Amino acid sequence: GAIADGVTRGVEAVSGTVTGAFSDEVIRLGVTGLSRAGKTVFITSLVANLMNRGRMGQLRAAANGSIRTAYLQPQPDDTVPRFDYETHLDALTGPAPHWPESTRAISELRLSFRVQQAGLLAGLRGVRTVHLDIVDYPGEWLLDLALIEKDYAEWSADTFARMEVRPHSEAFRAALETADPAAKLEEPEAKRLAAAFTEYLKATREEGYSDCTPGRFLLPGEMEGSPVLTFAPLPPGESPRGSLAREFARRYDAYKREVVKPFFREHFARIDRQIVLVDALGAIHAGPRAVEDLRRTLAEILTAFRPGANSFLSRIFGGKRVERILFAATKADHLHHAQHPQLTAIMEALVSDARRRADFAGARTQAMSIAALRATTEDRVSHGEETLDVVRGVLLDSGKRAAFHPGALPADPSHLLVPARQGAEAWLDEDYAIMRFAPQPIALKPGEGPPHIRLDRAAEFLIGDRL
């Protein structure tokens, strides 16, 4: 099929030979998460640390020397943008470190390993080549799966229901007041409504709400301004031929057909292993409603990993499935390690329903707290009578060094997740808001990748068994 052809060609182009092409193993690792969850930083640091394996002690194949070399190669998919690894790594580890540009669309990178089993088996198995194809894509795109089974009227009704409980919908509602959905379609009018609706989605996203479908309205990429992204929900009513309402319903269908389905078919259905990155700390700081919204959004995102639950998905997966899924709370370097177990417990609670179902579908799942790039160091300071666990770093805004104690996370995650109990515990301190650290200048010893928290454990879970 097309996939095998792509792989063969990629290998031939590099090695100039066909031998071995079919025996090479390929792992497709999906990296997703909502915008700003930490996908770009994760992939950059993962690849850097896999190429220089000095800091990957918990990845068995790195620690015992099975991985002989790891090197970048042209990816198998010629039309997917390449993940801009070199630029992102320069940003993070250059002389004036800064955070790289975030993920805005799908991209891909192939890292290849030459692997020889350590110890007695070494001579028996010889050297193998394993390709790791990393596929980076916005979590927002997974939310669109829910649209496939909804028609335009249902989606409109759902979207209006959500508006009832969310801020920032006034301007869009006002724009609707002056619109006549049954009138003949005029493109400027369509554009006006779509723009007001997009602004509403962006504003709620800023506020910390996660589920803001259609996903491409927030991250349009090259589709910006095209008809598939120029529609908005409308209240029920007449929709005569040629009317605005009729055209919006048609564009909604086109969005599902031309945007959503191809992504699932061509990219999502080919993934073997998946990491879902979650900025749980960000939501906790934003408050109870944002946490509840995140929980619901994750549940919805994760339905994508239960092909049985959706006839479109079972058709495109055709019996194949994602074998392992890691749920990772990112940016754990904002907390002293004494609080990492609490963060992991919150992460587990956030995805517990969905995890049970994915386990049931046969995928192995795990939750973890990680920092792909450690921007802080830990310390203890005395504060009056108490000693506090703090993290120290360079503030992004002022460039000043500072130490922070961001307040304690509750030991029992239900205090964050059960609405009746919310408010019983303090949320993360105000301090968390100003705790935006800059990446630190890193003194790398030869053979060491950038510093991280549990990136090696994450790699062991995701790909360790295949190396």
State the minimum distance, in angstroms, from the CB of residue 241 to ligand GDP. 42
Site for ligand GDP in 36-95 (CB under 6 A): 36-41
Q: Does 371 bind ligand GDP (CB under 6 A)?
A: yes
Options 93, 103, 107, 169; binder of ligand GDP; rule CB under 6 A = 103
130 vs 90, 417, 459, 465, CA distance in Å?
26, 41, 14, 12
Closer residue to ligand GDP (CB): 97 or 181: 97
State the minimum distance, in angstroms, from the CB of residue 300 to ligand GDP. 18
Closer residue to ligand GDP (CB): 278 or 322: 278
- Residue 274 and residue 33: Cα distance in Å, rounded? 10
Q: Which residue is it, tokens 């360079």?
A: 394
Q: How many CB atoms lie within 10 A of CB 66?
A: 21
Q: Does 333 bind ligand GDP (CB under 6 A)?
A: yes
Show the tokens assigned to 145.
Answer: 């799966």
Only one of the segments 107-115, 144-152, 226-234, 367-375 lies at the binding site for ligand GDP (rule: CB under 6 A); that segment is 367-375
Q: Is 196 left (phi over 0), alpha (psi -120 to 50) or beta?
A: alpha
Residues 6+ apart with CB under 8 A from 205: 35, 212, 218
Only one of the segments 202-210, 218-226, 368-376, 384-392 lies at the binding site for ligand GDP (rule: CB under 6 A); that segment is 368-376
Task: Indicate the SS3 state at residue 332.
Answer: helix
Options 196, 284, 326, 372; binder of ligand GDP; rule CB under 6 A = 372
Closer residue to ligand GDP (CB): 76 or 393: 393
DSSP state of 228: G
- What would the DSSP string read from start to end of 81-112? PBP-HHHHHHHHHSSS--PPPPP-S-EEEEEE
Only one of the segments 20-28, 97-105, 348-356, 459-467 lies at the binding site for ligand GDP (rule: CB under 6 A); that segment is 97-105
Q: Which residue is it, tokens 């390993």?
A: 113
State the minimum distance, in angstroms, from the CB of residue 404 to ligand GDP. 12
Only one of the segments 96-104, 113-121, 344-352, 399-407 lies at the binding site for ligand GDP (rule: CB under 6 A); that segment is 96-104
State the minimum distance, in angstroms, from the CB of residue 110 to ligand GDP. 19
CA angle 423, 426, 427 (to 5 degrees): 95
Q: Does 458 bind ligand GDP (CB under 6 A)?
A: no
- Residue 274 and residue 305: Cα distance in Å, rounded? 9
Q: Does 330 bind ligand GDP (CB under 6 A)?
A: yes
Q: Does 143 bind ligand GDP (CB under 6 A)?
A: no
Amino acid at 290: A
Amino acid at 60: R
Buried b (16+ CB within 10 A) or exposed e, 70-94: beebebbbeebeebbbeebbebbbe
Q: Does 331 bind ligand GDP (CB under 6 A)?
A: yes
From first CA to last CA, the distance across the chain in angstroms is: 25
Closer residue to ligand GDP (CB): 417 or 462: 462
State the minimum distance, in angstroms, from the CB of residue 6 to ligand GDP. 25
Minimal CA–CA distance to 278: which of 145, 413, 368, 373?
368
Minimal CA–CA distance to 438: which of 85, 48, 92?
92
Task: Indicate the SS3 state at residue 55.
Answer: coil
State the minimum distance, in angstroms, from the CB of residue 373 to ligand GDP. 4
Residue ranges of the alpha helices (H) in 219-329?
A: 244-254, 261-266, 280-286, 288-302, 311-317
Options 51, 59, 302, 373; binder of ligand GDP; rule CB under 6 A = 373
Residues counted in the chain? 467
State the minimum distance, in angstroms, from the CB of residue 112 to ligand GDP. 23
Q: How many CB atoms lie within 10 A of CB 204?
A: 20
Q: Does 302 bind ligand GDP (CB under 6 A)?
A: no
Closer residue to ligand GDP (CB): 88 or 128: 88
- Residue 145 and residue 333: Cα distance in Å, rounded? 33
State the minimum distance, in angstroms, from the CB of residue 396 to ligand GDP. 7
Contact pattern from residue 25 through residue 44 relative to ligand GDP, giving x for each residue in contact according to CB under 6 A and a dash for the rest:
--------x-xxxxxxx---
For ligand GDP (CB under 6 A), the number of binding residues is 20
Site for ligand GDP in 383-442 (CB under 6 A): 437
Closer residue to ligand GDP (CB): 83 or 172: 83
Options 85, 99, 197, 217; binder of ligand GDP; rule CB under 6 A = 99
State the minimum distance, in angstroms, from the CB of residue 414 to ligand GDP. 27
Q: Which residue is it, tokens 């198995």?
A: 125
State the minimum distance, in angstroms, from the CB of residue 183 to ligand GDP. 39
Closer residue to ligand GDP (CB): 131 or 334: 334
Show the tokens assigned to 289.
Answer: 């409603």
Q: Contact positions toward ligand GDP, by CB under 6 A? A: 33, 35-41, 99, 102-103, 330-331, 333-334, 371-373, 375, 437
